[in-house]
Amino acid sequence: MIKENISLQPFNTFGIDVNARYFASFQSEENVFEILEQQLGESQSPLILGGGSNILFTKHVDGLVLKNEIGGIDLVHQDQDYFYVKAGAGVNWHSLVMHCIDNNYAGIENLALIPGNAGASPMQNIGAYGVEIKDVFHSLEAIHIHDKTKVILNNKECHFGYRESVFKNIYKNQFVITSVTYKLKKVPQYNISYGAIPQELERMGVKDLSIKDVALAVMNIRNSKLPNPKIIGNAGSFFKNPEISVSQFDQLKLNFPNIVGHATENNLIKVAAGWLIEQSGWKGYREGDAGCHDKQALVLVNHGNASGSQILELSEKIINSVNDKFGIELSCEVNII
């Protein structure tokens, strides 16, 4: 059922109070087709909301917002090396990670506590601590909004990049993702060299490593420095870590010997955006109710009643400041509406 003039404040982790002119939730593919049939004649694509954890509303939505609530986690196939696990697009991401750990499905333990739902995981190619969705993604099911047809896309067809996929460019606003199938290992291949994971595992006194240990280490690290959206409005990392050439990085290292960066597969250096922002003086900064988190500079926060425009304005000041100091242009990971 399509409702009118609904507040989206409960449906976005920044807690921005804007309204949707029309709003509906769906729990199945059949629901999606029914809603799309009601929207005949509407030229504007509906806005699809999952967990609302990677979005910043800067204005009211003068159209239809669809809330994805398709549930279910199923082991649909297995072979000698892999489990194939299918999740409804509305499944909470962290719940999916914990379900896989409980069943010894290995591969997404490094992605524990990332906010949002399963449907957003391929859209953003979410990643953390050395693992990205493209590493474990098998396929997804989606419904084309205008053609009203169902499609299945494999890993190659999603054109994954760093926090990037086909759904953020040529297929933007064209599909409703209904399920995602992940290809998870039967024998774990641990990825524990990234960030503070080795130190945290040592602090935990881990002797016989398991995927649960890795997830707990990641959760401890995230909880120590990232704000809980239920307590303070935020969307996790607001900016992407920029990638620059080796020569540019070497040049910056002359002036900033402590600059933090890691080599990538495509012979670039991925620089820690949080470090750049902190060195530019923004960590803990607050302007009204819009602020930069005091423990992790990558995270912008809503201290209470900030508007989306105020948070966006702060992000633009940070981008200009970092560019002036380092000659590096940050880009937003969060989707701006």
Active site residues per annotation? 163, 237, 333
Amino acid at 13: T
Contact between 42 and 146 under an 8 Å Cβ cutoff? The reply is no
Q: Which pair of structure tokens corresponds to residue 286?
A: 């607050």
Tell me which residue has tokens 């948070």: 311
233 - beta bridge partners?
302
Contact between 293 and 299 under an 8 Å Cβ cutoff? The reply is yes
Contact between 192 and 214 under an 8 Å Cβ cutoff? The reply is yes
The residues near 264 (Cβ < 8 Å, ≥ 6 apart) are 243, 270
Q: Look at residue 273 and give its three-state secondary structure.
A: helix
In whole angstroms, give the CA distance from residue 261 to residue 181. 32
Structural element, H or E, at residue 300 = strand 299-302
In whole angstroms, give the CA distance from residue 168 to residue 164. 6
Contact between 109 and 128 under an 8 Å Cβ cutoff? The reply is no
Q: Which pair of structure tokens corresponds to residue 278?
A: 């902190």
Extended strands (E) in 155-251:
175-185, 233-237, 243-244
Amino acid at 217: A
Any alpha helices (H) in 56-186, and if so which ranges? Answer: 93-102, 120-124
A 10 A CB-CB count for 321 gives 17
Per-position DSSP letters for 223-236, written without gaps between them: HHHS--TTTSEEEE
In whole angstroms, give the CA distance from residue 312 to residue 297. 15
